[in-house]
Structure 1
Amino acid sequence: MNNPISCIITDDEPYARKGLQGYIEKIEFLELKGACEDALELGELLVCQPVDLLFLDIQMPFMSGIEFLETVQNPPKVIFTTAFEQYAIQGFELEVLDYLLKPISYDRFLKSAWKARNYFELKQSKDQLPYLFVKSNGRLEKIVFDDILFIEGMENYVAIYCRDKKIITLSTIKAIMEKLPATRFIQTHKSYIACIDNIDAIEGNIIYIQKYQVPISKYLRKGFLESISR
């Protein structure tokens, strides 16, 4: 990777934060951007300091790490750091990169850091491709990014609306969003992703793309307007 992986530590235990900070300082491809005591502080920090990766404790006061992930739209990738192994299944369901059990050794932390690096390198290489493949009706369909108008989530499926066709595939909005270049696509609603290049007009909380209307969530409106005005 050309740029280091930016990250934030969130843990209510001071010694745990200090230990993780020491590990991060030893790894050249990680860049620490902050350390928080709880999920509420983390949420405030992410507004002004977006990062690639969170080292996130699970059991914290006010809000657990799992509750934080379930309520935040498009959170960074996460590596859980916890003393409780019973949350591993929930971590898998939330698509976290890794699950570190305390006390965390440096060797185990380094292995997790490399897993994160491999993930971001793979994502970067995918972002450079002008297309993606999805499985639909028993075959792989190639979809060129330029042809995508918007994407609609429907429980365990997504509908990809293209210029001349609509493709339905077994996936989630979150999983599809990770395959798309962030500079060209933006989530406007918990169930919708829009291609910025193909937006014709915006009126109130509605995006017009050709004959379609795509909603803008009030929670995502500010981030959406900032993204299209850059």
Structure 2
Amino acid sequence: MSTPKKCIIVDDEPAAHYVLINYINQNPQLELTHQCYNGIEALNILRNHTVDLMFLDIDMPEITGLEMLQTLKQIPRTILTTAYSEFALESYEYGVIDYLLKPIYYPRFVKSIERFLALDPVEKTDAAEISIEVKVDGLLLELPVSEILYAQSYGNYVKIFMSNREYLASITTNQLENLLPKDHFVRVHKSYIVAVQKIEQMERDNIILNKEKIPVGITYRRNLSRLLS
């Protein structure tokens, strides 16, 4: 049986925690590791702990759910839990995978979790056999994950460097990061995601990949060093 996915609940309403805890406990694929009642507390947790899935309310005091997503450098896969539907479109800019309206009913919760689990292909198949879909020039293209070397941010677009060509995809860096298997790709800079196994050399402020020098941000250096050690 696969390892349960670590979850965090971020919501200022105790009743919302009660419902989500009940639903999470009914799913052996999930494990609740943290509960937060405001965004500041959640940001501190996420800076020091890795979670697989965040249940995030939008309307909270001090800092809203969307402001939290804007603040995070690495956004975990997120399911919004809120009574307000008007923020749905804006939320998807941050790679949010689903949007649950309160009161949350269990069948809808299960559907959302199935969507989340389907995004994690690493446990289902080898990375060499999987692919991702991105939009290029208005068309959906299927790109084999094994051929992706690295990706560079260009505003609301990302240039994806493959082993044999490049694509300018209509996707944000955060959205692409959520699509790629986390065991094989790592964020090394706010503008760069790289294939870990394709890294040829690591310097203090850069890595060498496919003979290209890619910058490494200070906030990402420790995690990268850990992966390569």
Report the TM range for the smaller structure's normalisation.
0.7 to 0.9
1:112–1:40 Cα change, 3 Å? same
- With 175-184 and 135-144 compared, the bigger mean Cα shift is at 135-144
Q: Structure 1 residues 196 and 116 mapped into 2: Cα distance closer, same or farther (>3 Å)?
A: closer
Which range is displaced more, 71-80 or 164-173?
164-173
Question: Which residue does the alignment assign to 2:43?
Answer: 43
1:27 corresponding residue in structure 2: 27
In the alignment, residue 56 of structure 1 is paired with which amino acid? L
In the alignment, structure 1 residue 70 sits paired with structure 2 residue 70: yes
For residues 63-117 of structure 1, the C-alpha deviation after alignment (integer angstroms, 9 at most, x for no partner) is 1111111221231111111122222222233332222222323343333333333
Please give the alpha-carbon distance, in whole angstroms, between the structure 2 residues aligned to 1:135 and 1:20: 34
Contact 2:79 2:96 in 1 (8 A): yes
Quick one: distance in 2 between partners of 1:130 and 1:4? 23
1:219 aligned residue? 219
TM norm structure 1? 0.82
C-alpha deviation, 1:143, in angstroms = 4.8
Asked whether the 8 Å contact 2:77–2:178 carries over to 1, the reply is: no
Larger CA Rg, structure 1 vs 2 = 1
Moved more, 124-133 or 213-222: 124-133
Shift of 1:135: 6.3
The answer (yes or no) to whether the contact 1:123–1:179 under 8 Å persists in 2 is: no
Q: Is the 8 A contact 2:122 2:181 kept in 1?
A: no
Residue 132 of structure 1 is matched in structure 2 by 131
Where structure 1 has 5 or more consecutive residues not aligned to the other structure, the ranges are none
Percent identity for Structure 1 against Structure 2 = 35
**1:178–1:206 Cα change, 3 Å:** same
- Matching residue of 1:197: 197
- 1:53, CA displacement in angstroms? 0.9
What's 1:2 paired with? 2
- Judging changes above 3 Å, is the alpha-carbon distance between structure 1 residues 219 and 19 closer, same or farther for their aligned structure 2 residues? same
Residue in 2 that maps onto 1:87: 87
1:160 and 1:167 in contact (8 A); partners too: yes
Q: Aligned pair count? A: 227
2-structure distance, mates of 1:90, 1:171 = 14
CA distance in structure 2 between the aligned counterparts of 1:119 and 1:94, rounded to whole angstroms:
15
Change in CA separation of 1:112 and 1:177 when aligned onto 2, cut-off 3 Å: closer
Q: How does 1:93-104 map to 2 (within 5 A)?
A: 93-104=93-104
Alpha-carbon separation, structure 2, partners of 1:42 and 1:140:
36
1:52 aligned to 2:52? yes
Counterpart CA distance in 1 for 2:7 and 2:218 is 27
The answer to whether residue 202 in structure 2 is matched with residue 209 in structure 1 is: no
SS in 2 for 1:150: strand
Residues 203-224 of structure 1: CA distance to partner in whole angstroms, max 9, x if unpaired? 3222223532111122222222
> For the aligned residues, what is the CA RMSD?
2.9
Q: Aligned-pair distance for 1:61?
A: 2.0
Shift of 1:8: 0.9
